[in-house]
Every structure is written in C-alpha cells, then in structure tokens.
Amino acid sequence: MPKRQDIKSILIIGAGPIIIGQACEFDYSGAQACKALREEGYKVILVNSNPATIMTDPDTADVTYIEPITWQVVEKIIAKERPDAVLPTMGGQTALNCALDLHRHGVLEKYKVEMIGANEHAIEKAEDRLKFKDAMTKIGLDSAKSGIAHTLEEAWSVQKRIQADIGGSGFPMVIRPSFTLGGTGGGIAYNPEEFEEICKRGLDLSPTNELLIEESLIGWKEYEMEVVRDKADNCIIVCSIENLDPMGIHTGDSITVAPAQTLTDKEYQLLRNASIAILREIGVDTGGSNVQFSINPDNGRMIVIEMNPRVSRSSALASKATGFPIAKIAAKLAVGYTLDELRNDITGGVTPASFEPSIDYVVTKIPRFAFEKFPMADSHLTTQMKSVGEVMAMGRTFQESFQKALRGLETGISGMDERSTDREEIVQEIGEPGPERILFLADAFRIGMSLTEIFDETKVDPWFLAQIEQLVKIEQSLAGRTLASLSTPELRLLKQKGFSDKRLAKLLGTNQHEVRKVRHAQGVRPVYKRVDTCAAEFATETAYMYSTYDEECEAEPTNKKKIMVLGGGPNRIGQGIEFDYCCVHASFALGDAGFDTVMVNCNPETVSTDYDTSSRLYFEPLTTEDVLNVLDAEAAGGRVAGVIVALGGQTPLKLASRLPDGLVLGTSPASIDLAEDRERWNALCHELDIPQP
C-alpha cells in the first residue's frame, strides 16, 4: 500500500531533557523519524526542549520548536502550524503523556489532528495498568496477581487480597505507579512500613494517582521481545532480549543479552506468538513495541509484565544489535507503508523490511552507574531504574561479548576484576545486588562457592553462571604461568573468550604492551565481522563491524582518505549526549570534505552508532587495545590520516597519548596532558602569573 496522500505535515513530539530512564536513545529514534518522513516528502514539525540533540538541529526537521513539552505549549504550536498528524511514539513516556493530554483536552479534535503510530486508545490500554491486565486476561495470557489503588486505604485493601491468594505474609510486594518512566516512584516493599512509604511516594508521582500493586516475581527470569507491526497485520520479531539479572531489578539496570540464550525453541515460539497477540489486542496497528515477559524457572509459568506502545530504550538496543532501524521503519509504517514495501538498507535493498532479522553473534549490554557522584544514595538495585548509561558489545560467543562490554564501561576494570575475598561480603553483595554484582559473582566462584549455592543467592540462570565459572577457571589456570609459556593456540583461545590484553597482563605478571607484542608476533589478531541482519545469507555493503578472533575478516578497508573519530562511550554524569552531538557533526563535516569517516564507539543509545552516520562504524570498546586494533585493520587499506579525540569528552582524551605519534589531529597529546594534569596546569598558571583560587 502506498504512503498516505491525505497527510502533508506531521508533528513529532520529542522526549525533552535527559533523565534516568529516558536518555539519548530518543534523540536517535526522533532523528531517524524526522529523516525518514522528510524522505517521503512530508513537512516535519518538531517540538523538543533539549538543545543538545541532533534532532533539534535546524536541518533535521522543516520547523523546529525548542519549547517545553506540555500540552498547553504544544497546543499553541498546533494552532500555528496546523499539522495533519502527530507522531507521539518517538519521544518516550514524555511524548506519550503529552499526546494523551492533547487528546483529553480536546486539542486534537479541535484542530483535526490525527494521532498516528499509536492512537489514544492503544496508548491508554497499554499504559493503564488495569486496562492492560484486563486485555491480557481477554486473550488468555497470565498476569501477576495484582490490583489497582488510587489511595493508601485502597492499597492496603489490595495487599490483603493478594496475601489471601498467595498465602504467607504477603511480602515482598511490588508497587508500580501508572504513567511513569523507569519505575519512578515504584519499588519493592519487604514489610508494612516500606509498603506504606512506597505507596505514598508512588501516588504523588503518578500523574493519574494510580498504583498497580502486584505479587512479587523476584527471582523469575525476564525476557523482552521487540515487535514491529504494519497496518496489513504483518508482524516481525526484530530481536529477543534476555535479562541476565532476574526479576526484581529494573530491565534498564540489568545486564541483557541478545538473542535470548536460555529459551528452548518451544518457549521462544510461545513468547513470539504472545507478543504478536498482545500488539493486536492493544491496538498498535503500525510501528514498534517492546513487550516484557517473566517465566518462573521452577514451573514454567509465563506472565506478561508490560508493554511499551512506542520505541523504547530496548528498541535502540535491538536496532544496534541487529542493524534493523526500528524507529525509521516505524515512522514509515505510521504513514501507510507495509513491511514488504520497505527495503532493508543494510543488505542494499536485497531484502524487504518484512524479512525477520537473524544474527550469528551475541550482544551484551551492561548498564553504567554513577553512584560515585552520590555517595549517600542507595546503590541497591530495585524496580526503580538507577543507571545513567549503558555499553554494548558484540562477539561470537556470550563470553567474548560479555568481557568486551565489561572493559567498555570505563570504570577502571579490564574484565572480571577481583573485588573481595571476604565470604560474608561476597554473599551479601550477590544477594543484595548493587552496581558491581557481576564482579562479586566471579569472586564467589573464586572463593569456592558452588554454582548451586550462587544460584540460590542470586537466581541468575545456571547457564550464565556456568559461563562465568568457566572464565574464572581459565583465569585460575593461568596462576604461576608466564606470557612466554603460552602457546599460540592457548593465546588465541584466551582472546576468543574475550580476555583483554590488560587483563591477561595482570594475570600473567606483565604489561599489556608486551601482551600485544607477543600476540602480533604469533599472528593472533582480531578480524572484523559485519552486522548484516541476515546471518551472512546476503552480502552487505554497509560497513558496520565488530571484532572477534575468527578466521575470515570482512572489514574490507578502503584506500580513500580516512579520518577516525573516537566517540564518548557510555553516558555518565558530565559526559553525555552533547559529546555525541559533536562527534556526529564532525563525521558529517568530514564526509562533506571528501573524507571517509571511521567512527569507534560502544554506546547503543547514540546517533553516532547509527550505521549511516559515518562511512565505517566499529562498535568497539574505547580502550587502547581496541582502538589500536581498529587502526591496524584500517591500515590494511591505507593509513588513517588522523584521529580526532577532542570531541568525545574525557574518554578519547585519555587515549590520545597512547596513539601512534602524529595521528592525533588538533590539540596535541602533550598539550592535552598539560591541560588535564592538575599539577602541570597549576605550574603553568604560576609561571604565567595567572591567579588561581
């Protein structure tokens, strides 16, 4: 079916300022949507209040309003611009809530504006906890035993009813406010005092003063399905995602893996069919949605947790994990196209968008926390999201991608670094999860705890525990050995397991430069594979790559003039979307000047890691080892002319002095060090007679 001709102009509502649970992934989705709709000839009107975004650039939309995202302000924009339609599914919870307010206050009806992508009925059905539960019951899907409360008295009444159903004390109990983001205001109550406190907070923070109170599913396995549907009822699963951490930890704070690793084919098909049935029942006629499930590992009971009738944080992750541009496709579906009419850019249009992605690698996402900035904050992980960023890595195996992601966090670790040898501390840290739980899991194996003991404390699936246990055993087997004693097959196997040069250096009592030298002498170098959405069934011209220690290299470096841009890595306080903005514009400017741009970054939320932002994209950790490996790979087609380190924040600046001489463009490594080193800077100011506080 062709695109709609009755629509000429479309209003896109952005996500507003960066907050926990709603970060730069919505700049990525919004920018994609603007670009996709303008390609189709529509006039795009954008409202967003965040000036640090690509989407608020003057040339991203036809008309851009940097204004507060409230229904009153958006009404004035609608009155002036008179759009034919509004697309609210690209701006997270902020955009959905604003669109619902516009509907409830009669603004859309008054100005004859149609809501596309997801209509008001679908949004309310998905976001209203009671309506969603009723919808799941209608199609025969199980939900957690729960009830809705609008007052504290009603909350206690619901708690007592659930207690009667499940027996025992009725605790722990999960409280989820309606229409909030990232679990804001919610939590897990382990006793009556906590229950009352969380309910009061949740009622205050929910815009509808509504709480969903439900039985605890702590310890159950959690899965997500990214689903896309068109108006002809064609549905595809873009990606399945498994949470390594069990229920009880917000999915944004969980380590997640794609594709799901511990599902049987039968279980996968059940989740797939259920996801599609949910989209149909909720009424998401076009676009992408994220559906979350939980499975009881003891008896296999499957329940539906929730769905997001919009692109989400997980949508950005799934897009980068598979190469399937969910936001771009969703925007085009919203204006009438069907999946079979849209082509897959990655395969050069050989396959349609209705071709379900298939991947032959494993993707791991690990959240980045910033508790060091807030020492008084509670660092225990719960149903309320606390991470400020995330890193993604790809590898041929879970172990490889997992260890690559760990070193990409930029928290000073080079892999599964040791944290403690004290059994009491370790048991407490794995039982009451915090930001470094995964490192304490490795410590638990190091002190001799069994897999069964650790599972009882953590409820992390035994398959993942076995993978971590094997890595610990490999580390222990290196005790007392030297780098020189490793054979080439042994060194290659260690690299295939994801061990960094720096981690191996620590385990073998040497330094990472020696490890790199020996690796090269023995011919142990990474190759680069392409992300192609089809597990190599079709060729791809898109240079979107990840490293692995395999045989065939698919990098195919060009002999054109090349400039490398180092990105900012995972978001954190003080280093966020504004640096990605700089890197993206550098890439565009270099392309206009006739250079091939080589982007290196590991943040799945950003525009810089979109496959068409640069000529060549390497989704790699920003470490000395990984950046030098990319330089080596690109040198096979002709030397990289230079590396830009000044635009990605502190991350690339720290790498400047470790890059080959003469490669850093702009400010020299010596000058960077002079500005960054406090003692040298103070001495310079003193020498120049510049007063300092």
Residue 167: what pLDDT? 75
Whether the link from the prior residue into 172 is cis, omega within 30° of 0, is yes
pLDDT, position 259: 96
What's the count of helices (H) and strands (E) in the chain, helices before strands?
A: 24, 22
Judged against a pLDDT cut of 80, whether residue 665 lies above it is answered with: yes
Question: What pLDDT, on the 0 to 100 scale, is given for residue 325?
Answer: 92
pLDDT at 372: 87
* DSSP states along 253-293: GS-EEES-SS--HHHHHHHHHHHHHHHHHHT--SEEEEEEE
Closest CA relative to residue 317, chosen from 397, 438, 401: 401
Q: At what angle do helices 501-508 and 624-635 cross, to 10 degrees?
A: 120
**Own/partner pairs, 586-595, CB within 8 angstroms, 24+ separation:** 586/644, 586/647, 587/613, 587/614, 588/613, 590/563, 590/565, 591/615, 594/561, 595/560, 595/561, 595/562, 595/563, 595/641
Rounded distance, CA 502 to CA 630, Å? 17
Report DSSP state, residue 395: E
pLDDT band at residue 444, thresholds of 50, 70 and 90?
A: very high
Tens of pLDDT, residues 38-92: 999 999 999 999 988 989 999 999 999 999 999 999 999 999 999 999 999 999 8
- Which tens digits make up the pLDDT trace of 173-194? 889 888 776 567 888 898 999 9
Give the pLDDT band (50/70/90) at residue 475: very high
Structural domains in the chain plus CATH codes = 9-116 (3.40.50.20), 145-215 (3.30.1490.20), 221-357 (3.30.470.20), 553-678 (3.40.50.20)
Q: Are 316 and 255 in contact (CB under 8 A)?
A: no
Mean pLDDT of the chain: 93
Instruction: Check residue 136 and give its pLDDT.
Output: 95
CB 618 within 8 A of CB 548: no
Buried b (16+ CB within 10 A) or exposed e, 79-113: eebebbbbbbbbbbbbbbbbbbbbbeeebbeebeb
Report the C-alpha gap between 500 and 103 in whole angstroms: 53
Q: Which range (251-265, 461-475, 537-551) has the least confidence?
A: 537-551
Residue 528 has pLDDT above 70, yes or no: yes
> If residue 149 lies in a helix (H) or strand (E), which one and from where to where?
strand 146-149
Confidence band (pLDDT; 50, 70, 90) for 332?
very high
The structure's pTM equals 0.92
How far is 502 from 407, CA to CA, in rounded Å? 10
565-605 pLDDT, tens digit each: 999 999 998 888 899 999 999 999 999 999 999 999 999 99
Helix, strand, coil % in the chain, rounded to nearest 5: 40, 20, 45
pLDDT tens digits for range 453-470: 999 999 999 999 999 999
The pLDDT, as a whole number, for residue 181 is 63
Say which DSSP state 308 is in.
E
Distances in whole angstroms, Cα of residue 301 to Cα of each of 134, 219, 261, 267, 382? 19, 13, 18, 11, 22
Contact 26, 53 (CB under 8 A): no
Answer yes or no: is pLDDT of 245 > 90.
Answer: yes
Residue 515's alpha-carbon distances to 44, 405, 524, 589, 691, in angstroms, are 53, 20, 10, 37, 45
Tokens read off for 101: 């307010």
Q: Range with the lowest mean pLDDT among 20-24, 35-39, 145-149, 556-560? A: 20-24
Give the mean model confidence (pLDDT) for residues 512-539: 92
Task: Tell me the average pLDDT across 521-544.
Answer: 89
DSSP-assigned letter for residue 352: B
Q: What integer is the mean pLDDT of 26-37?
A: 93
CA 186 to CA 565: how far, in whole Å?
Answer: 40
Bridge partners (DSSP) of residue 242 are 223, 257
Q: Are 141 and 131 in contact (CB under 8 A)?
A: no
Instruction: Give residue for tokens 């594709």.
Output: 259
Rg of the chain over Cα atoms, rounded to whole angstroms, equals 25
- Cβ proximity of 434 and 367 under 8 Å: no
618-657 per-position pLDDT tens digit: 999 999 999 999 999 999 988 899 999 999 999 999 999 9
The Cα–Cα gap between 82 and 243 comes to 43
Q: What are phi and psi of 408, to 5 degrees?
A: -75, -10
pLDDT value of position 197? 92
Q: What is the pLDDT of residue 585?
A: 95
Q: What is the pLDDT of residue 600?
A: 98
Query: Contact at 8 Å (CB) between 578 and 643?
Result: no
**pLDDT tens-digit readout, 369-420:** 999 888 888 899 988 889 999 999 999 999 999 999 999 999 999 999 999 9
